[in-house]
Structure 1
Amino acid sequence: MSINSNRNLSQRVQGMVHNIVGDPLHFSLENRIFNTICAIAIFIITFNIPYNYATGLTVTSLIFSILTLVFGFIYYLSRCRKQVNLGVALAVISTNVMFAVNYFYSSGIEGASLLSFTLAFFLTMLISPSKQYYWWLAFNLVTVIGLICYEYYYPGAILNVYHTRGDIFADMTPTYITCILAIFVGTVYLKNAYNQEKKRGEEKNRKLELLNSEKSKLFSLISHDLRNPLASIQSYLQLMRDIELDAENKAQIETELLYVVNSTQEMLYNILVWSKTQMDGLNTHLTPVDVATAIHPILKINKMAVAKKKIALDINIDASIKVMADMNMLQLIVRNLVGNAAKFTPAGGAIYIRTSRTADAKCRIEVKDSGKGIDPARQADIFSLKVRSTFGTDNEKGTGLGLFLCKEYTLAQQGQIWFESNETGGSSFFLELPLAGN
């Protein structure tokens, strides 16, 4: 049998199980366990109807017929109406009442009724909430001990249905086998369900702990990184107030001040975008986007950083390319890539921005710089939230959050992003998105 056939068979079996016990996405663990127990109980009881009738236990066969109808209704309440608590109460009460009646018509303490009560109590512990355990324990004990005491004082009330030694073996043996199999199946299913829930819970806790740890690092870095630009702004303002500056120096300081404000604003914008994503999730609206129209405003925003460091810009953008993208997400990605290139390119360096079509109907945007490149120790985590503060060639401070957002937003737009180290120094970042119309 091929792998695909095995996979299809597994999927069909899983689908059948979900139809019987409920999909884990829509039914709680307790609900699924109760549905399973009901399905098993219906199967066992239905099997015992003709068997008991054939062995001469006519009343027991009739009682089991009634129980089949009762459990069918209880299963409907739990599986279709999700009324688990009501179903549990009806199942426990009806089972004990019917077994109590059967006790009088199946040789009492000498028959198989005590085994049936034991199995019923085990199943009750599986399906009932923990806060009801003591109630159902008391209910079972009172019922069974009451029946035994009644038989002890009024033995004539019990009908002896075993006429031969073979009748006893014919009743006790299958009852014992049924109890053992039911306990085995119930225990295995319960343990498997518990282990799966435990595994899912541990995985969620691990992810939450990792996310909280990364958030703590991020906010610690942010609080530290914001002090530097604010201190610079304060120093510039203090200098301008205390010293009479000539026009040239004043213009230079104002340029420096504006540059610091723009850099800080970019960092805060990334933080706000990331915070909004954490609260609301990613809302992506893919539409045909003109790449040139999206990129040119970003280049104007970074014009001051490039001019300040006398960096040459080599731009080669195909004005005819359109991609399926979210305009805001695309601009955020390009803004971070160009901003990082300007940050890590030394004065007098160069940045190359190119767009091209690939053979597999995608648009490739390349942002290449002649900067100092990426530390090999940081390359594996460059797109992750394992944030480390980095300094640009002009001591520009960054948190690394921008590249993490680039990765998240690229995947949300069904694209790819990666980087390569250049042989001549610096690095190249590549962004690929599907062409519009493909």
Structure 2
Amino acid sequence: MSTTEIRNTLNSMKKLLPSIIGDQHQFTLENRIFNAIAMMALLVIAINVPYNYMTGLTVTALIFSLLVVAFAGIYYLSRFKKKVNLSIGISVILINVTFAINYFFSSGIQGASLLSFTLAFFLTMLISHSKQYAWWICLNLFTVLGIISYEYYHPEAVLNVYKTRKAIFEDITPTYITDVVVIFIGTLYLKNAYNKEKKRGEEKALRLETMDSEKNKLFSLLSHDLRNPLAAIQSYLQLLNDIELEQKDKTQIETELLYVVNSTQEMLYNILIWSKTQMDGLSVNLVPVDVAAAIQPILKINKLATAKKGIQLDANIDASIKAMADLNMLQLIIRNLVGNAAKFTPAGGSINIKTIRSGNNCLIEIKDSGAGIDPDGIADIFSLKVRSTFGTENEKGVGLGLFLCKEYTTAQQGQIWFESTKGRGSSFYVSLPLAN
């Protein structure tokens, strides 16, 4: 057999394995190990039936035939009914009882039964829960020491089936080889399964550690950033209480406070969305969405922020475009991108929003004439590197906006990217499939 054929055979066996022992997403590690060992025991016992018969061990061949039927039922009970604990209990007791009976029909201590008991005990330790170890050790020792003691005082109870010295070697040698092979395969499978579970556990622990670190940073920044708008509101209320302000001053302060509150509300909304996603996962409802109708409310809301900073906000939107999108997700993306553009664009700058058809996609561009992106931060622009960033007028954020944009664009089967030149502005692009 060539190397390619061997590789193909191994690949076929790997694909077949989940159907034999069970899928890892539906069966526990213990259940899969037991299924594998039950199938292995079934094959080994089945092979021994004709061998024992040909070597003159007729009773042993009959006992092993009954074990084949029994283990087929045990495998079915565990693999298809998922009653692994019941299967383990039945199999351990059944093996000890049948091996004890076979002991007296296969030359007792001179035969291969003790090797079989050793193998059975090894497999029992592999498949059973640690809380059951004491029971199975006692059962094995009680059974083996009991039959040995009985043979010692009643040697006539043991049937000597070996007619020649050669027959002893023909029975014990293959039994030993089988035991070694089964122990090797069982240990190898157990180690591989353990290493896979260990790696999966380490990856999960690392993800949890990263999420916990990000959460701690996020809430630390949140508690710090919320103090500024709350302090501003408190100062304004205190000012109203202490002195009588002119209407012009009131209007100016209220406009600034409204901008601060809107920015803080946007930050809180992003955090709430992120928190909900962490708890419940993403839920996407893709439907044909009128892109112009989705964007217009966001433009109206951002007019105040851009006007306050002296930024010109222009839009060139194709009213005929409909995209397959989740309306809430699309609006969150546009809201964050327009908000970011306003945040990093100085007074006298401009922001332009444009939608066009690009092949089978709707392309949304948000272009600004702002500060651009620092080259050192480009690699992490869409990642959850939680950090405070300051706009042209010290507007503050917690770094969640672009991360959510990336997550939500991908969830809608779209793409997001950007082009930026330090000091000359940035252009962010969102591409979503057109609705038929």
Please state which band the TM-score falls in when normalised by the shorter chain. Answer: over 0.9
Which residue does the alignment assign to 1:248? 248
1:361-409 CA-to-partner distances (Å, cap 9, x unmatched) read: 1111111111111222222212111111111111111111111111111
- How do 1:153-164 residues align onto structure 2 when only pairs under 5 Å count? 153-164=153-164
1:171-224 CA-to-partner distances (Å, cap 9, x unmatched) read: 111111111111011100111111111110111001110111011101110010
Which residue does the alignment assign to 2:100? 100
Report whether the alignment pairs 1:76 with 2:81.
no
Which residue does the alignment assign to 1:385? 384
1:13-32 CA-to-partner distances (Å, cap 9, x unmatched) read: 33321111111110101001
1:228-273 CA-to-partner distances (Å, cap 9, x unmatched) read: 1111111122223222222211211111111111111111111111
- How do 1:1-400 residues align onto structure 2 when only pairs under 5 Å count? 12-359=12-359, 361-400=360-399
Superposed displacement of residue 5, structure 1: 10
Cα distance change, pair 90–285 in 1 and its aligned pair in 2 (3 A):
same
1:262-300 CA-to-partner distances (Å, cap 9, x unmatched) read: 111111111111121122211110001111111111000
Cα distance change, pair 138–378 in 1 and its aligned pair in 2 (3 A):
same
- Hey, what's the Cα distance between the residues in 1 that align with 2:268 and 2:10? 50
- Hey, what's the Cα distance between the residues in 1 that align with 2:6 and 2:335? 48
Structure 2: unaligned runs, 5 residues or longer: none
Q: Is the 8 A contact 1:49 1:61 kept in 2?
A: yes
Aligned-residue identity in percent:
70
Q: Is the 8 A contact 1:422 1:428 kept in 2?
A: no
- Hey, what's the Cα distance between the residues in 2 that align with 1:379 and 1:184? 52
- Hey, what's the Cα distance between the residues in 2 that align with 1:300 and 1:132? 69
Structure 1: unaligned runs, 5 residues or longer: none
1:283-324 CA-to-partner distances (Å, cap 9, x unmatched) read: 110001111111111000101001101111221111111100
DSSP-derived class of the 1:418 partner:
strand
Root-mean-square deviation (Å): 1.7
Which residue does the alignment assign to 1:431? 430
DSSP-derived class of the 1:380 partner:
helix
Matched AA of 1:204: K
Matched AA of 1:380: A
1:64-88 CA-to-partner distances (Å, cap 9, x unmatched) read: 0111111111111101111111111
Q: Is the 8 A contact 2:372 2:423 kept in 1?
A: no
Cα distance change, pair 28–328 in 1 and its aligned pair in 2 (3 A):
same
- Give the length in aligned residue pairs: 434
The TM-score normalised by the length of structure 2 is 0.96
Cα distance change, pair 146–194 in 1 and its aligned pair in 2 (3 A):
same
- Hey, what's the Cα distance between the residues in 2 that align with 1:20 and 1:247? 81
- Hey, what's the Cα distance between the residues in 1 that align with 2:221 and 2:256? 23
- Hey, what's the Cα distance between the residues in 2 that align with 1:162 and 1:411? 73
Q: Is the 8 A contact 1:78 1:87 kept in 2?
A: yes
